Amino acid sequence: MTDRLVHNLSIVATLKSVKGSLRERSPGVWQVRVSLGRDPATHRYRYAAATVRGTKRDAQRAAAGLVSEVDHGRIPLTKETFGGLLTRWLDHIEARGRAPKTLVENRRMAAAIAEQLGSKDLQKLKGSDLDALYDRLSRRGLSGTSVRRYHAVCSAALNQGIRWGLLERSPAAQASPPSMEHNEPDAPTPEEIKLLIERAEEKDPELATLLFVAATTGCRRGEVCGLRWSDVDFEKGVLLVRRSVSDLPGRVEIRSTKTGHIRKMALDSATLSVLELLRERAGARSAALGVSLDPDAYLWSSSPDGLSPLRPGGVTSRFIALRNDLGLTHIRLHHLRHFAATVMLAGGVDVRTVAGRLGHSRPTLTLQTYAHVMDATDRRAAEVVGGSISGTQSSDGGTGS
């Protein structure tokens, strides 16, 4: 009894010292308030409050908990806005080594979010506020997939706010962002690929070799730009994809591949011939300028010695000019990667091998992305199995007419 009395008196004394109060609003319903001091921006007193249902002792325990939260800095002493949280979150992920290109994109989206909701009191932010933001982004013409990226930024920042003790639950959990759009990737036809390469050979020979290698290997744009001659083994016909080049404001950054793994892929004779031609041209250009081609030079470079990679954005600009000249405006540079995947899968190459060449983190990603191609392959598989039983299978493994 004495210990409980001392404990209760201690809570009362503590509440007085921090300008707190304990009030029974109705039978069995208590309001606990603890002062957070003056807000330096508004000069008004702010309070942490809690409503407790139960006995006075329950309310006193809750009061002690609030005091502890204040003492340990888990309750912000100033008004926190959503914009302030976004800024703190961006600084937090940058300090933890997030990729610069990812940071640039996250800062761009965070700025757009803060423009609409930055001044909103974090404690008053609701899921409906986020939904209103997503609706405005959709009306601006952003796809459902793009809006989901904004939602991911909001959700990540708010979840970090929970870990920091700035709020109890995330309003993003009550929001309803649009669904992801699972569009089947468009793959150019072999005829369109040939047309692009042939026209590039006339107007931009360097680009022609890059497009050829991109189409036969399925490498990402940054990975193609990051290839060095030391990655090519002409004797074994093997290519190592070790790194990727990223565009950043005013500079490029050399990073590991998207999955962080080095991947090894075999090269066909035609691709090896194209690379041999490219190496001869690079050596001749360097010699003409009075410099030697560095042994570890990039395959496609912006400098005579080959030590500076091409900017991925510049490659895209050259490609767009080429495809527009041919009237193939529906083809994007990234579609060359889809071309490689589609041709391999349609040709019966197993999914694990295709995933490995594309650099997918798992084969299921390949299956999800190219399900439409797998449907056609599955149809042929059904015909082969059925034909083997019905006797309509041809001698070469196909079905008879």
pLDDT tens digit string along 105-123? 999 999 999 999 999 999 8
- DSSP string computed for 31-100: EEEEEEEE-TTT--EEEEEEEEES-HHHHHHHHHHHHHHHHTT-S-SSPPBHHHHHHHHHHHHHHTT--H
- Other CB atoms within 10 Å distance of the CB of residue 148: 17
Residue ending a domain, choose from 123, 149, 174: 174
Residue 257's domain spans which residues?
190-321
User: Would the CA dihedral through 275, 276, 279, 285 be positive or negative?
Assistant: negative
Same domain, 317 and 207: yes
pLDDT at res. 38? 62
Same domain, 197 and 302: yes
239: exposed, middle or buried (Cβ count in 10 Å: 0-12, 13-18, 19+): buried
Same domain, 206 and 304: yes
- Angle (nearest 5°) at CA 36 between 95 and 85: 30
pLDDT at res. 392? 56
| Residues near 337 by beta carbon (within 8 Å), at least 6 away in sequence | 214, 218, 219, 220, 358
pLDDT tens digit string along 322-379? 999 999 999 999 999 999 999 999 888 999 999 999 999 888 888 888 877 777 666 7
pLDDT at res. 1? 47
pLDDT band at 295 (very low <50, low <70, confident <90, very high): confident
User: 375 to each of 327, 370, 384, how far by Cα in Å?
Assistant: 30, 9, 14
The CATH number of the domain where 241 resides is what?
A: 1.10.443.10
Whether the per-residue pLDDT at 72 is higher than 80: the answer is: no
User: 281 to each of 104, 156, 288, how far by Cα in Å?
Assistant: 36, 48, 11
Mean pLDDT score across all residues of the chain: 85
Residue at token pair 């209103």: 132
Residue 76 lies in a domain: no
In angstroms, the CA 223 to CA 244 distance is 4
